[in-house]
Amino acid sequence: MEERVEQGAPQQINLLVKTINGTDLWKDGSEEITGVETLARLLKEETAKRLEAEKKVLQLSTHLNFSQKTALIGSFEADLTEKGHHNVFWADEVFKILGYKPGEITATFRHFFSAIHPEDRLWAVEKLENLIKMGGSFEIEHRLASTDGIEKIVLNTVEVLVDEETKEPFKLIGTVQDITEKRKKDKDLISLNYDLKTLFENMQETFFSVDMTKYSMLQISKACEEIYGYTVEDFMANSNLWFEIVLEEDKEIIRADYPAMHEGNSILQQYRILTKQGHVKWVESRINPTVQQGKLVRLDGLTTDITKRKSVEIALQNNEQKFRTLIENCSDGITVANEQLEFVFASNSMSRLSGFLLEELIGKKVLDFLLPEETGLAESIAQMLTNNPGKPFPIKGSFRKKNGGYFFYEGHITNLLQDPVIEGIVCNFHDVTEREKAEDAVKASNIELKKTNKELDRFVYSVSHDLRAPLASILGGLEYAETETNDANMLKSLRLMKGSAQKLDGFVVDILNYSRNSRIEIKNELIDFLQLFNEVRDNLKYMHSKQATVDIWVRVENEHVFYSDRSRLSIIINNLVSNAIRYCNPAAATRDVEISVRVDELNATIVIKDNGLGIDKKFHNRIFDMFYRLSKKSEGSGLGLYIVKETVEKLQGSIHLESEPGLGSEFTICIPNTKLR
């Protein structure tokens, strides 16, 4: 008997039965459901379906959350209707990306936009506003200034849903993805690719790859043009070009490595090539072969221009050969001793110098060949060498010869025991026996010469001094005789004799000055230049040119205390001023000699300038020579300027002449201040 739901069943059950899942449960196909049990069964089945659906939804939600967490992607949505404008949803990952814990803050547009970096915020907001107005979708990448202090880069994918009937936007959905690490890796990858490209294009070595299955060039760097002279296009067009330009006599070097390459072994080759410009170069190739299933399929390599290095290596080899030849044929001696001061090496010249065969020296003590009185010095030198490795010390002494005699040597000795190549004490020296004999002879000659010079100097001084007394008497007698006669012929003769006597007296004075300059030590005296110049002017006031009178002008700029040798300064100034008077220009309107000095802390600069006859430049280098006279008509002994130069040099000064014929002469003398000495 079928059970029916009573007419008086609660209205809620009827409503529930009729509305679950939108299905009329009173109908089952074409049959009516008449019993409560059937209704209960259907409710149970529907409930099971719903539970299963909820379970699947939960699984999908779990998977979605895991996927978002793993991909650093968070989803969000927002109700854009006027009533639900503030209804915003963030997935947990959105909170985390923004630097919050899930649910820590309320999900709002304001919180999201405040997390955008200030420099990106304005345009991001404008773009979102435009999207809401226009509809559609977009992707936007910007920075976040998250609360955890770490700047992030995110990618927002946003879509606005529009009501089909009203055409009004009602929902915004999207995702936000943390792409910070991705962008960092992209940037690093771009930088790495750029660096690799830059390296590939600018490296001096030529990088190449060859497909050995087709024997075709896969790639070659631009440096090939610098090394080979051929372009990349040349090599790509002719895969065998690199081998064709190898010098014929060096191709065997490459062929010899074929077996090793086919076995997959890396090889290093050095050979010569002929460039496109006709130059021969040395190159070095490092080649890494790739072998698959016993077959050579690819070659990757790097070729370097080693022409300069090879030239150096060849030069070193030649130098080594030269060095060996020089050592074997050098007249100087070279020895190496061990720590026990035993000979371990001796050059061929040692046999010639000492008379011993080399085998008679090797293994013998160095001290056994020295004079007994030199062994103590040798031991002290050995101690210095021990304390100063690598430092050369001068050495000289005597070495015993096989015939019982000795030869004198001089050179340097160096402790190179720590040098891994030498491992010994090196002594290089030369035979100075003949020089020692010559030096002994020179020493003896110098002693004798000094003695002779001293005696000659005394003789010159004595004779010169003794000559002045009778000359003074003669000059006095001549001057007296001039006052006692009016006879014109007699006066002329007396003046001639007086001139000759004065000339002789001047010569004697020059000799005395020269003798004093070379003999007397330099004095260090306070110099009053004004007084010194006035004395010179007074001494020469009666010395006039035969044709005219000469005016002497003095100027002193002395702001510093100056010390030097007063007597020598007087000799210099007297000679130069007397020459200016003697060789004045009689045709000049006025005849002047200007003496000036400027004193500073270090030097005194004396300038003596005249407007006399002047000196041709071709004679400037000779006027300071002893006994040099410009012409036979020149007055004086020819010693004056020589003595000036010698005296200036004695004072460690300098003298310079500026002069031209008809324009006068200017002597500039620089004398150092000896105050600080």
The mean pLDDT of 146-156, rounded to a whole number, is 78
Q: Which option is the CATH number for 200-312: 3.30.450.20, 1.25.40.10, 3.40.50.300, 2.40.160.40?
A: 3.30.450.20
Q: Determine which of 126-130, 232-236, 426-430, 636-640 has the lowest per-residue pLDDT on average.
A: 636-640
Average pLDDT score over residue span 483-510 = 72
Instruction: Quote the CATH superfamily of domain 72-181.
Output: PAS domain (3.30.450.20)
**Quick check: 509 pLDDT over 70?**
no
Residue 520 has pLDDT above 80, yes or no: no
Give me the mean pLDDT over the 84-91 stretch.
75
Element (H, E) at 289: strand 280-292
**Do 629 and 501 form a contact (C-beta atoms < 8 A)?**
no
Question: So what's the pLDDT on residue 670?
Answer: 94
pLDDT at residue 50 greater than cutoff 80: no
3-class DSSP assignment, residue 279: coil
> Would you state the pLDDT for residue 479?
73
19 vs 289 pLDDT, higher one: 289
For position 28, what pLDDT does the model report? 46
Taking 90 as the threshold, does the pLDDT of residue 449 lie above it? no
Q: Could you tell me which of 103, 121, 102, 105 has the C-alpha nearest to residue 113?
A: 121
13-17, 169-173, 325-329: segment of lowest average pLDDT: 13-17
**Mean pLDDT on 386-394:** 89
Taking the C-alpha atoms of residue 387 and residue 393, their distance in angstroms, rounded to an integer, is 12
Q: What is the pLDDT of residue 71?
A: 59
213: exposed, middle or buried (Cβ count in 10 Å: 0-12, 13-18, 19+)? exposed
**CATH classification of 330-431 is 3.30.70.2190, yes or no?**
no
**pLDDT number for residue 677:** 59
Residue 168's pLDDT is 84
Over range 486-497, report the average pLDDT: 78
Asked if pLDDT for residue 566 goes beyond 50, the answer is yes
pLDDT over threshold 80, residue 6: no
What was the pLDDT predicted at 462? 66
pLDDT at 147 over 90: no
| 587 compared with 651, residue with greater pLDDT | 651
pLDDT for the residue 228: 92
> Tens digit of pLDDT for each residue in 296-347?
999 998 899 999 888 888 887 877 777 777 666 677 888 899 988 899 988 8
Spans of all domains in the chain: 1-71, 72-181, 200-312, 330-431, 521-672
pLDDT value for 268: 93
Q: According to the per-residue pLDDT averaged within each range, which of 26-30, 467-471, 539-543, 638-642 is highest?
A: 638-642
CATH code of the domain made up of 521-672: 3.30.565.10
Starting from the edge strand earliest in sequence, which strands make up the sheet with 73-79, in order?
A: 88-90, 73-79, 169-178, 151-162, 136-145
- Containing 348, the helix (H) or strand (E) segment is helix 348-354
Q: Do domains 72-181 and 521-672 have the same CATH topology?
A: no
More confidently predicted of 65 and 160: 160
Band the pLDDT of 31: cuts 50, 70, 90.
very low
The mean pLDDT value of the chain amounts to: 79
> How much is the average pLDDT of 527-535?
88
Q: Once rounded to an integer, what is the mean pLDDT over residues 163-173?
A: 85
- What the block records as the tokens of 582 is 């003697």
Cβ count within 10 A of residue 114: 13
pLDDT band at 42 (very low <50, low <70, confident <90, very high): confident
Higher pLDDT, 608 or 58: 608
